[in-house]
Amino acid sequence: MGYLELVFGTLTVAFLSLVWSFLVSIALTPYFKAKRMREQGVRGPKGSFWSGCVEEISHMKAASREMVMDINSHDYLNKVVPHYVKWISQYGGTFLYSVGRKPRLCISDPDLVKQVLSNKFGFYMKLDSGTEVAALLGNGLVLTEGEQWARHRRVVSPAFTMDRIKTMTRTMADCAKSMLDKLHNKKEVEIGTMLKELTADIISHTAFGSSYSAGKEVFFAQNELQMIVLASFLKLELPIKKYLPTEINKRRWMLEKKLRETLMGIIEKRLASKEVGYGNDLLGLMMEACMSEKQEEINMSMDEIIDECKTFFFAGHETTSHLLTWTMFLLSTHQEWQQKLREEVLSECGKEIPDSNKISKLKWMTMVVFETLRLYSPVSLIGRTACKDTKLGNLMIPKGMDIIIPIAIIHHSKEVWGPDANEFNPLRFENGVSKAAKHPNAMMAFSIGPRACVGQSFALMEAKTVLCMILQRFSFTISTDYKHMPADMITLQPQKGLPIILRPLKA
């Protein structure tokens, strides 16, 4: 055989095996995964060969997008996740659908969800969320897996012990005070935007210490990236399109560069001050782990620190700001609870700036915050992928199957929470979170298991501190301009903001 024939033969074999593996991944594997689930009695919408159920989802979401709800209704599932509501009513709580060629199993039984989320043996990993989400969140704790995740979690966890959080409460209160001082001569404000800026300010101060002002630039870059990510959801495009210099990609790359340079600037400033230590904040802890020769097993590279900073900045302010916004909404529309909370705040803290000990005594406030997290969970769904063939309840889950956990659906289920599941009733949390529903793990706002939110105590302390200080100074009602339109924009938020009327209380 001549040289050319040999090259030609090799190329042909390589080409054919490429075509074959493409066919396997695009046609055969998804087909057999779905078939295996259907053979076990799992039903669901068929969808089209290429796009799966994407068109149906897009149509349903577009149709419900401008829906304005009654201000007293919390039953927004038909607006936010209309496709899940429809499919659950047709096929039951466990059903199969597909996004593009990828089949997805949706499970809404808390027992099954617990099995997936509590698994410590690496049977499930995070769903691949795509390059856009990674650009926004960074390849930090939320998205990493395996040994890298365990190493990062070990570095980061000490920053979130209760003792640490207690020391951060004063910073949270100082940031809240400077926002509230600006509100005193205002009557009507769009409180959602203000709370987003406030929580960004708090995470800037607590994570980056003295470099907090650079946090503003991180905030603006991430805000715009979030819009780009949102626009990319449910668009079926050829994977190569992400790498082409389209206008939107160029903008995304520019923002990513800006984000990286800003964070690099903060880190370099910190490096320059290493003689006096890296600091006690989150960045200081990570840099300590990165630099210390003694702690080789938890060494972090500079790129990992940058990614982790992106993660903490986004995860640390976006969710908490919406928790605060929805609590303000519920207290505006339930004046009796607003009054009850104010009385509790004034009796425990007076008009003083609250400290962590006083905050932990606010029982009614804790119940209201949990009820808000239940009704308006900032994260509406989470996902996992099975890493190996696995048994889940009575089902055999094939390796590679995506699993969707619709938190919003579970939080509004009458089977789980009782007939008043769609009503605001903080008293259900009177005996603690695990006794509030028929299932002890029904509250999933922070997820459960080893990948549960590391910032949970931080978020609760922050939310209660800010609410406490608002209640000390103002009474508030909802503006007549408010339109009740909950929308899932990566996090659940009021689509048109939350305008409220503030009335300063007598000193």
Sort 459 into a burial class: Cβ within 10 Å, 0-12 / 13-18 / 19+.
buried
Shortest distance (Å) from residue 419 CB to ligand HEM: 26
User: How far is it, in rounded angstroms, from Cα 379 to Cα 126?
Assistant: 15
β-bridge pairing 102-106 and 402-405 = parallel
- Which range binds ligand HEM by CB under 6 A, 330-338, 356-364, 374-382, 480-488? 374-382
DSSP-derived secondary structure for 127-141: PP-HHHHHHHH-SST
Question: Phi, psi (5° rounding) for residue 392?
Answer: -135, 110
Handedness of CA 428, 431, 432, 433 (dihedral sign): negative
Longest C-alpha distance within the chain, in Å?
97
H or E stretch including 18? helix 3-23
Helix (H, G, I), strand (E, B) or coil at 153: helix
Q: Is 457 in the site for ligand HEM (CB under 6 A)?
A: no
Shortest distance (Å) from residue 202 CB to ligand HEM: 9
Q: Which residues pair with 499 in a beta bridge?
A: 190
Closest to 305 (Cα-Cα) out of 328, 281, 289: 289
Considering the complex, state which of residue 110 and residue 316 has its C-beta at the smaller distance from ligand HEM: 316
Closest to 261 (Cα-Cα) out of 300, 214, 299, 228: 214
Q: Is 95 in the site for ligand HEM (CB under 6 A)?
A: no
- Counting residues that bind ligand HEM (by CB under 6 A) gives 23
Considering the complex, state which of residue 142 and residue 403 has its C-beta at the smaller distance from ligand HEM: 142
Q: Is 148 in the site for ligand HEM (CB under 6 A)?
A: no
Q: Within positions 108 to 147, which residues make up the interface with ligand HEM, using CB under 6 A?
A: 126, 141-142
Structure tokens at 357: 């000990």
Tell me which of 382, 401, 437, 442 binds ligand HEM, using CB under 6 A.
382
Tell me which of 316, 354, 406, 494 binds ligand HEM, using CB under 6 A.
316
User: How far is it, in rounded angstroms, from Cα 27 to Cα 24?
Assistant: 6
Q: Is 342:471 a contact under the CB 8 Å cutoff?
A: yes
Q: Is 172 in the site for ligand HEM (CB under 6 A)?
A: no
Shortest distance (Å) from residue 353 CB to ligand HEM: 21
453 is in an annotated binding site: yes
Tell me which of 113, 155, 194, 445 binds ligand HEM, using CB under 6 A.
445
Tell me which of 358, 428, 451, 484 binds ligand HEM, using CB under 6 A.
451
Q: Which runs of consecutive H residues, i.e. helices, occur in 184-214?
A: 191-208
Q: Is 203:215 a contact under the CB 8 Å cutoff?
A: yes
Question: Phi, psi (5° rounding) for residue 436?
Answer: -80, -20
Q: Is 319 in the site for ligand HEM (CB under 6 A)?
A: yes
Considering the complex, state which of residue 56 and residue 488 has its C-beta at the smaller distance from ligand HEM: 488
Shortest distance (Å) from residue 31 CB to ligand HEM: 28
β-bridge pairing 402-405 and 382-386 = antiparallel
Shortest distance (Å) from residue 324 CB to ligand HEM: 8
Q: Which runs of consecutive H residues, i.e. helices, occur in 209-281?
A: 215-232, 247-272
Considering the complex, state which of residue 309 and residue 382 has its C-beta at the smaller distance from ligand HEM: 382
- Which range binds ligand HEM by CB under 6 A, 105-113, 210-218, 268-276, 452-460? 452-460
Q: Is 283 in the site for ligand HEM (CB under 6 A)?
A: no
- Which range binds ligand HEM by CB under 6 A, 174-182, 227-235, 350-358, 440-448? 440-448
- Which range binds ligand HEM by CB under 6 A, 8-16, 53-61, 310-318, 350-358? 310-318
Q: Is 222 in the site for ligand HEM (CB under 6 A)?
A: no
Q: Is 300 in the site for ligand HEM (CB under 6 A)?
A: no
Q: Is 424 in the site for ligand HEM (CB under 6 A)?
A: no
Residue nearest to ligand HEM (CB): 455
Sort 341 into a burial class: Cβ within 10 Å, 0-12 / 13-18 / 19+.
buried
Tell me which of 85, 459, 470, 471 binds ligand HEM, using CB under 6 A.
459
Q: Which residues pair with 189 in a beta bridge?
A: 500
Shortest distance (Å) from residue 481 CB to ligand HEM: 26
Which residues are CB-contacts of 353 (< 8 A; sequence separation ≥ 6)? 170, 173, 177, 469
Q: Is 241:315 a contact under the CB 8 Å cutoff?
A: no
* Radius of gyration for the alpha carbons in the chain, expressed in angstroms and rounded: 24
Q: Is 320 in the site for ligand HEM (CB under 6 A)?
A: yes
Considering the complex, state which of residue 86 and residue 153 has its C-beta at the smaller distance from ligand HEM: 153
Handedness of CA 69, 70, 74, 78 (dihedral sign): negative
Tell me which of 54, 379, 468, 469 binds ligand HEM, using CB under 6 A.
379
Shortest distance (Å) from residue 338 CB to ligand HEM: 20
Tell me which of 279, 406, 455, 494 binds ligand HEM, using CB under 6 A.
455
Residues that bind ligand HEM (CB under 6 A): 126, 141-142, 153, 311-312, 315-316, 319-320, 323, 378-379, 382, 445-447, 451, 453-455, 458-459
Binding residue ranges for heme: 453
Binding residue ranges: 453
